[in-house]
Structure 1
Amino acid sequence: MSDSISRNRLAARLDAAVRAKDEPLPTPVFVVDVDAFDANAADLVRRAAGKPIRVASKSLRVPALIRRALSHDGFRGVLSYTLAEALWLEEQDVCDDIVVAYPTVDRAALTRLVASPRAASRITLMIDDVAHLELVDTVRASTAVPVRVAIDVDAGLLVGGRHVGPKRSPLYDARDVVALARTVLERPGFQLAGVMTYEGQVAGVPDAVPRQRAKSLVVRRLKDASVSQLRVRRTEIAEALRPVAELGFWNAGGSGSLETSSADPVVTEVTAGSGLLVPGLFDHYQAFEPRPASFYGLPVTRRPSPDVATVHGGGLVASGTGTADRLPVPWAPAGLHLTGLEGAGEVQTPLTGHPAALLKIGDLVWFRHAKSGEPFEHTSTVQLLSGERFAESVPTYRGHGLAF
């Protein structure tokens, strides 16, 4: 089946589900296709090759979807993006094994953590500096409740004296990692739980982009070099840490690197989130076939000319580089395009392309966001599509009155 045919069938399926609702849905209509979601989950487990997958909550932001992912065999634990979020997930019994992916300086959240023995036993903080430990000590009166921490180690590629990859931890060499590990072990009130090495330059960069063959080839070579270099460095760090501490986990990777991350014997678990919903930025990877599962529908409100249809709203631009690949994609029906002058607007988005002439006022156009999780900051409710009908409406974090 051609891409255009499958996208047009998707539009018909989504439109039918909207019409079948007893009451009109407010727009934008945010939808997750749980059939595709579950199929993606199964494929992620296959690619992880036996290593447990920790769910990246930042890429979902819908508690029901986090629970759904965790219900699949092969998924275990959550990688949260803020401590406040981790505390809420723990309080709601969504998960009892939560690692906060980024260091926190949220004193209010830290105060809540050290006041709860149950939360402190279930949540692991990320650190890469002694200052992170010192901040914890400023919010507690005693060290009676131990705080679990994991060390974030830079997983970038060093090539020709340059660093390629996310600008995360200052810790690179085994010596510096071991020094911080010893500090944790010697400091009252802390437990060293694990290590994290996120190779974003492998996991989060497309490497099979149409009409960019030369660039994609360079990206694949950089990925290969990064995987090789990081495997050696992980081994060196693990061997240096072995006589110092017994680690509970070594986390690595993301949706775009499950095969290589899980193949490293040092790694005990991998992380995935975007691979469950497959946003636009995850379309062009050699490692897996994309199966989009997240969409939002916008109504046509104007026909400024016979070959232009304008939808209401639509300007959900993804975070990051500020480049064109961060714009939403008009996905279904197939063949629609943003205009160069207006792009994706806050209150209106004109669309061109041959289907524009066929659209009527009131029709829905279905978009895909460039990144996973972010569009759900703009809605309180997500419709879960199963088969040809919306099976359930579930709240996002915003729907629960939360903003992390």
Structure 2
Amino acid sequence: MDDLQRYNRATAHLDPPFAVLDLPALRANAEGMLHRAHGKPIRVASKSIRSRAVLERILTMDGFTGIMAFTLPEALWLVSTGMRNVLVAYPTVDRAALAELAAEPLAAREITIMVDRIDHLDLVDSAVAGVHDRQEIRLCLDIDAGYLAFGGRFRAGVRRSPIRESDQAADLATQIAKRPGFRLVGLMAYEAQIAGVGDDPPGKPALTRAIRLMQTRSQRELITRRGRIVQAVHQITDLEFVNGGGTGSIEKTARERAITEIAAGSGFFHPRLFDFYRGFGGHPAALFALPVVRRPAPGVVTVLGGGYPASGAPGADRLPQPYLPCGLRYDPNEGAGEVQTPLVGPAAEDLRTGDRVWFRHAKAGELCERFASLHLIDGDRVVDEVPTYRGEGRTFL
């Protein structure tokens, strides 16, 4: 039985739109990620999952330890529900959440927040000034892992931290060490230009060569620079963890001696943007189904909804992929629509009103912002239905 038949049979009792998670595919993807990590633990990036039940399922597997959250309110909620060892990957200016963190011993013990300048500490002190019996705040220092060339005129990688060199990191670590109420426990450096950029884009040989050259040089530079930064900060304080990488760079980042853990999340669902890497493959695990609601012309069907673009620079690669049945594509004049999406191609001839089309989102967890639950499929059966963050009434971003 092929996947189209299996998914249609498993969900025959459901009316689309709905989203599913293929459990065997999820497990296979998780095993592949662990193999690539060469024994180093993987911290699970919650923004790529956005379902507490699925996070809990992943964390029962050996090799996955801790959560990388994307907001402090999310981290506080996760800890209140039993999650532990939560790193907030982005700085927070949420004063109410900071006050809650400083007032709650369990949260303060299990949550680490991100900083990259002394202003962050000033804001925390201001936010928690009225807290009785303030708890010590655990901090992680974010390091810029971007690649610079040609005297800084070329940059690859996301713009995150202003801290780039070992002396800058050591200076901030020294200031933190002198500041009561804070403890620096970790470092993080996310090499987005390696982990988040596929090195095998189809039909673009010149771009492929350029990406591979950039990534090779970036990795060499980062190994040296990240090692120096870790060594410099270790002279000032003992670190519990040094975090790096992402789904696209697991096996590369794991080789670095300075790294103690890898961050990854997208690899569990294996969305469309992760099809274009040489070093690993995966199984599409998270899908959504939309119903065919009309046939406006021969060779054309229209499905309900579908306008679920992914974040990032706008482009065709940010649109969901019409996945099953094979042979469907967007009408170039309409694309993915807010309330309806026309699809063209050979497969459209065989679809009838009421049939369903299966899509893959371009990114991972953003799918869960559109659906209140995930139907868990094992074989050709739905074995459970679990809420997404949205389904639990949680919309953090």
Normalised TM-score (structure 2): 0.97
Q: Distance in 2 between matches of 1:77 and 1:202?
A: 23
Q: Distance in 2 between matches of 1:28 and 1:272?
A: 28
1:82-161, aligned counterparts within 5 Å? 82-93=71-82, 95-140=83-128, 141=130, 144-160=134-150, 161=152
Tell me which residue corresponds to 1:316. 308
Tell me which residue corresponds to 1:355. 347
> CA-to-partner distance for each residue in 1:227-264, whole Å, 9 max, x for gaps?
10000001111221222111000000000000111100
Tell me which residue corresponds to 1:71. 60
Tell me which residue corresponds to 2:251. 259
Q: AA paired with 1:167?
A: R
Structure 1 position 220 matched with structure 2 position 209 = no
Deviation at 1:64, TM superposition (A): 1.1
Q: Distance in 2 between matches of 1:347 and 1:336?
A: 18
Q: Distance in 1 between matches of 2:141 and 2:361?
A: 32
Q: Distance in 2 between matches of 1:138 and 1:238?
A: 29
Moved more, 297-306 or 143-152: 143-152
Structure 1 position 238 matched with structure 2 position 230 = yes
Tell me which residue corresponds to 1:394. 386
Q: AA paired with 1:242?
A: H
Tell me which residue corresponds to 1:17. 10
Q: Distance in 2 between matches of 1:393 and 1:272?
A: 24
Q: AA paired with 1:275?
A: G
1:301-340, aligned counterparts within 5 Å? 301-340=293-332
Aligned match for 1:60, one of 49, 56, 69: 49
Tell me which residue corresponds to 2:336. 344
Tell me which residue corresponds to 1:3. none
> Displaced runs of 4+ in structure 1, greater than 2 A?
141-144
Percent of residue pairs identical: 46
Q: Distance in 2 between matches of 1:121 and 1:324?
A: 43
Q: Distance in 1 between matches of 2:383 and 2:43?
A: 26
Tell me which residue corresponds to 1:41. 30
Q: Distance in 1 between matches of 2:96 and 2:371?
A: 26
Tell me which residue corresponds to 1:170. 162
Q: Distance in 2 between matches of 1:237 and 1:314?
A: 45
Q: AA paired with 2:60?
A: S
**Any idea what SS the aligned residue of 2:2 has?**
helix
Q: AA paired with 2:272?
A: G
Q: AA paired with 1:185?
A: A
Q: Distance in 1 between matches of 2:261 and 2:192?
A: 16
Aligned match for 1:32, one of 13, 17, 21: 21
Moved more, 159-168 or 276-285: 159-168
Q: Distance in 1 between matches of 2:389 and 2:16?
A: 18
> CA-to-partner distance for each residue in 1:245-298, whole Å, 9 max, x for gaps?
110000000000001111000000001100000011000101101211010000
Q: AA paired with 2:33?
A: L
In the alignment, structure 2 segments of 5+ residues that lack a partner are none
> CA-to-partner distance for each residue in 1:55-82, whole Å, 9 max, x for gaps?
0000000111111111111100000000
Structure 1 position 384 matched with structure 2 position 376 = yes
Q: Distance in 2 between matches of 1:102 and 1:314?
A: 30
**Any idea what SS the aligned residue of 1:257 has?**
helix
Deviation at 1:108, TM superposition (A): 1.4
Deviation at 1:143, TM superposition (A): 6.8
Q: Is the 8 A contact 2:58 2:64 kept in 1?
A: yes
> CA-to-partner distance for each residue in 1:302-325, whole Å, 9 max, x for gaps?
000121011011110111101110
Q: How many residues align?
A: 392
Measured at CA, do residues 15 and 377 of structure 1 come closer, stay the same or move farther in structure 2, by a change above 3 Å?
same
Q: AA paired with 1:326?
A: R
Q: AA paired with 1:259?
A: E
Tell me which residue corresponds to 1:373. 365
Tell me which residue corresponds to 1:4. none
**Any idea what SS the aligned residue of 2:173 has?**
helix
**Any idea what SS the aligned residue of 2:280 has?**
coil
Structure 1 position 279 matched with structure 2 position 271 = yes
**Any idea what SS the aligned residue of 1:246 has?**
coil
**Any idea what SS the aligned residue of 1:191 has?**
strand
Normalised TM-score (structure 1): 0.95
Q: Distance in 1 between matches of 2:278 and 2:103?
A: 47
In the alignment, structure 1 segments of 5+ residues that lack a partner are 1-7
**Any idea what SS the aligned residue of 2:248 has?**
coil
Q: Distance in 2 between matches of 1:243 and 1:356?
A: 64
**Any idea what SS the aligned residue of 1:263 has?**
coil
Moved more, 247-256 or 204-213: 204-213
Q: Distance in 2 between matches of 1:150 and 1:382?
A: 33
Tell me which residue corresponds to 1:5. none
Q: Is the 8 A contact 1:143 1:189 kept in 2?
A: no
Q: AA paired with 1:137?
A: D
**Any idea what SS the aligned residue of 2:247 has?**
coil
Q: AA paired with 2:176?
A: V
> CA-to-partner distance for each residue in 1:71-95, whole Å, 9 max, x for gaps?
11110000000001000100000x2
